[in-house]
Amino acid sequence: RHRHKEKWAATAPRIPSTRLALHHFDTSYSLHLGALWPSVRAGLLCEQKYGALLNNFAAADHVPEELELLNATDFISEALQKSSGQRGAAVGEVATGCQEGSGEGRTGMQAEMVAQTEMSSPLCTSISSKIKCYTFPRGDITRFRPARPDGLGLLDYYLMDAASLLPVLALDVQPDDFVLDLCAAPGGKTLALLQTGFCGHLAANDVSISRTKRLYQILHSYVPKEVRDTVSVTSYDGRDWDQVKGGTFHKVLVDVPCTTDRHSAMEEDNNIFHRRRTKERQMLPMLQLQLLMAGILAARPGGAVVYSTCSLSPLQNECVVERALDVARAQFNISLHPEDLSHFRTLFQDTFSFFSECQLGELVLPHLTANFGPMYFCKLRRA
| Distances in whole angstroms, Cα of residue 376 to Cα of each of 13, 220, 285, 307, 310 | 35, 29, 14, 8, 6
Say whether 255 counts as a known binding-site residue. Answer: yes
Cβ-contact 338, 332 below 8 angstroms: no
Distance CA 154, CA 195 (A): 14
Say whether 319 counts as a known binding-site residue. Answer: no
Say whether 184 counts as a known binding-site residue. Answer: yes
Say whether 130 counts as a known binding-site residue. Answer: no
Say whether 186 counts as a known binding-site residue. Answer: yes
Q: How far apart are the first and last CA of the chain?
A: 71
Q: Which residues are catalytic?
A: 310
- Distance from chain centroid for Cα 162: 8
Spatial strand order of the sheet with 73-74 comes to 73-74, 133-135, 51-54, 157-160
Question: What DSSP line would sit under 267-282, residue for residue?
Answer: --TT-TTSGGGHHHHH
Angle between the N-to-C axes of helices 104-118 and 75-100, in degrees from 0 to 180, rounded to the nearest 10: 180
Angle between the N-to-C axes of helices 318-332 and 284-298, in degrees from 0 to 180, rounded to the nearest 10: 50
Say whether 188 counts as a known binding-site residue. Answer: yes
Angle between the N-to-C axes of helices 17-33 and 37-44, in degrees from 0 to 180, rounded to the nearest 10: 150
Distance CA 295, CA 287 (A): 12
Contacts of 89 (CB under 8 A, 6+ apart): none
Distance CA 210, CA 201 (A): 23
Say whether 162 counts as a known binding-site residue. Answer: no
Compute φ and ψ for 73, nearest 5 degrees: -135, 155
| Distances in whole angstroms, Cα of residue 164 to Cα of each of 304, 329, 373 | 18, 29, 8
Say whether 26 counts as a known binding-site residue. Answer: no
Known binding site: residues?
183-189, 206, 237, 255
Known binding site for S-adenosyl-L-methionine: residues?
183-189, 206, 237, 255
